[in-house]
Chains A and B, each alone.
Chain A
Amino acid sequence: MRRVRLTYLDHMIRQPVIYQMGKDFDVVTNIRRADIQENIAWVILELEGDEIEIDNALEWASSLGVRVDPALGDLVEG
């Protein structure tokens, strides 16, 4: 299982990215927290499935322009 934070900007907010992710990749998606506003949104998403399939699903989301980050924030500190 992996938890990530997806950040959507502008037009991507209107796209059914998580639905499509579950349809096109063999992953189970589960929204844990989210804040959707007019021009920006974030979603904490849990993904279950094969690690490679999760990687592929997240790469696909990135390629659409959705930003994918660690759910807990960056762990590498100064």
Chain B
Amino acid sequence: MANTISLRCRECSRDYPIEPLNVCEFCFGPLEVVYDYGAINASTSREKIASGPRSMWRYADFLPADYNPVTDINAGFTPLIRSRNLAEELGLKELYIKNDSVNPSYSFKDRVVSVASAKALEFGFDTIACASTGNLAGAVSAHAARSGMKAYVFIPSDLEAGKVLTAAIYGATIVSVDGSYDVVNRLCSELADKYRWAFVNINVRPFYADGSKTLGYEVAEQLGWKAPVHAVAPAASGAMFTKIWKGLNEFADAGLIDTPVNTHMHLAQAEGCSPIASAYLDDRFIIKPVKPDSVAKSLAIGNPADGYYALKTIESSGGSAVVVEENEVSEGVKLLARTEGIFTEGAGGVAISALKKLAQSGTIKPNDQTVVYITGNGLKTVELVQDVVHPLLIEPTVDAFEAAVDTKVS
């Protein structure tokens, strides 16, 4: 059984039973899972975790759903890579890249959906759903395929063909909604009220969101049971960012890593959609929603549900927020690919460009152990970096090749 006690409102602390709920009926604050930390801390150990499955479910003691092989597509336990070339280029001595772009459906969303789909089955749902412009659609569809649940994925009708395909291939019903992003939002809210489905980021959101805690646990374990000095992560709703911090602190409270956690959490957004980072830079805790207009499409959430909590995480951790310019999104993607052989999407480009700024400004010192989170795969958004393609065109002869190469060299 999962070590959970209740759901609790993050604003008024009112308790609710463990049910598919996400919002406090009294103050309308968001609900969060309350864990039995006594039971978790008594049962967990480094040895137990290390001998667990090579997936995010090695941390099952800390998750709000029981492990269920029916839904498991082996999400998580992705590589933490010691950077050599990028570190050198940025003047950093101990830089690690958490490469979450190699999850089964190629983004960190597999972590949250892995928990959401397991919990959905526990609750007796036979259908899962989401509204997405990319990564979440793929993760929901893939988990539905594995588990045999029905899946409905709502997308804006102008979504790129590649993104539609990476959700459709798994067999989900793709519903292309004729209308703007706002219209899709509104429709999904109405559908969530009407149908008894597990809408992963609506009625099972408290459970779903906690899947991202594993990004904190894994990095701590992979660093040799310690928290880094700095963590740099992209943000859309802000939920993943807050959960990395929560994961590190839960590990410290359980005695698995040193306490207190001294990690500085740095949040990265692109200029075209930076409601959280802009609030930080303006020194306010009220998020001003924006209309997204960014090439980092997986971060394009103009009205972020967890923006306030992400700002509190920055404050608690002594971190910061960085806005990168739109042209720096693809530059970051190219820099990571060129230096480390990792092809990420726009969100990863945002994280890398933010890391560069933090290193250049001296916020991250050369000797500080730093982890940058790469949360999605570049193959889903090839149009972002199409300008790198300029092959040498030659006749099929050795002379032609050498002439072309010489031409290029000279």
Residues of chain A whose beta carbon lies under 8 Å from any beta carbon of chain B: 3, 5, 7, 9, 32-33, 35, 37, 40-42, 44, 67, 69-78
A-B contacts at CB below 8 angstroms, number: 96
Of the candidates B29, B199, B297, the one whose C-beta lies within 8 Å of that of A33 is B29
Q: Tell me whether A73 and B288 are in contact (CB under 8 A).
A: no
Tell me how far the C-beta of A24 lies from the nearest C-beta in chain B, rounded to whole angstroms. 22
Of the candidates A40, A69, A71, A78, the one whose C-beta lies within 8 Å of that of B136 is A78
Q: Tell me whether B202 and A73 are in contact (CB under 8 A).
A: no
Report the bound CA distance from A67 to B307 in whole Å. Answer: 17
Of the candidates A3, A5, A33, A77, the one whose C-beta lies within 8 Å of that of B11 is A33
Chain B window 102-130, contacts with chain A (Cβ cutoff 8 Å), 1 for yes, 0 for no: 00000001000000000000000000001
Identity of the chain A residue whose Cβ is nearest the Cβ of B347 in the assembled complex: A78
A-contacting residues, B160-204, CB 8 Å:
181, 184-186, 188-189, 192, 199, 201-202
Q: Given A42-B286, A78-B133, decide whether A73 and B301 contact each other with a Cβ distance below 8 A.
A: yes
Q: Tell me whether B288 and A72 are in contact (CB under 8 A).
A: no
A-contacting residues, B263-321, CB 8 Å:
284, 286-289, 297-307
Closest A-B pairs by Cβ, 3 of them: A73-B305, A78-B298, A69-B303
Q: Tell me whether B286 and A40 are in contact (CB under 8 A).
A: yes
Q: Given A37-B286, A40-B284, A71-B28, decide whether A77 and B136 contact each other with a Cβ distance below 8 A.
A: yes
Identity of the chain B residue whose Cβ is nearest the Cβ of A69 in the assembled complex: B303
Q: Tell me whether A77 and B23 are in contact (CB under 8 A).
A: no
Residues of A with C-beta under 8 A to B284: 37, 40
* SS class, residues of chain A in contact with chain B: strand
Residues of B with C-beta under 8 A to A37: 284, 286
Identity of the chain B residue whose Cβ is nearest the Cβ of A36 in the assembled complex: B286
Q: Given A77-B132, A77-B201, A77-B236, decide whether A70 and B286 contact each other with a Cβ distance below 8 A.
A: no
Report the bound CA distance from A33 to B202 in whole Å. Answer: 19
Report the bound CA distance from A75 to B156 in whole Å. Answer: 12
Residues of B with C-beta under 8 A to A69: 289, 302-303
Report the bound CA distance from A77 to B11 in whole Å. Answer: 24
A-contacting residues, B231-264, CB 8 Å:
236-237
Q: Tell me whether A74 and B185 are in contact (CB under 8 A).
A: yes
Q: Tell me whether B185 and A70 are in contact (CB under 8 A).
A: yes
Report the bound CA distance from A49 to B189 in whole Å. Answer: 17
Residues of B with C-beta under 8 A to A77: 109, 130-133, 135-136, 201, 236-237, 301
A-contacting residues, B45-67, CB 8 Å:
none
The answer, yes or no, to whether B81 is at the interface (CB within 8 Å) is no
Q: Tell me whether B202 and A72 are in contact (CB under 8 A).
A: yes
Q: Given A32-B27, A44-B28, A70-B303, decide whether A76 and B131 contact each other with a Cβ distance below 8 A.
A: yes
The answer, yes or no, to whether B206 is at the interface (CB within 8 Å) is no
Tell me how far the C-beta of B157 lies from the nearest C-beta in chain A, rounded to whole angstroms. 13
Q: Tell me whether A73 and B306 are in contact (CB under 8 A).
A: yes
Identity of the chain A residue whose Cβ is nearest the Cβ of B345 in the assembled complex: A78
Report the bound CA distance from A75 to B136 in whole Å. Answer: 11
The answer, yes or no, to whether B134 is at the interface (CB within 8 Å) is yes
Report the bound CA distance from A77 to B306 in whole Å. Answer: 13
Residues of A with C-beta under 8 A to B298: 78
Of the candidates A32, A35, A76, the one whose C-beta lies within 8 Å of that of B133 is A76
Identity of the chain A residue whose Cβ is nearest the Cβ of B376 in the assembled complex: A78
Residues of B with C-beta under 8 A to A42: 286-287
Starting from the known contacts A67-B289, A77-B132, 13 additional A-B residue pairs (CB-CB under 8 Å) come to A37-B284, A40-B284, A71-B28, A72-B23, A73-B306, A74-B303, A75-B185, A75-B188, A75-B201, A76-B132, A77-B133, A77-B136, A77-B201
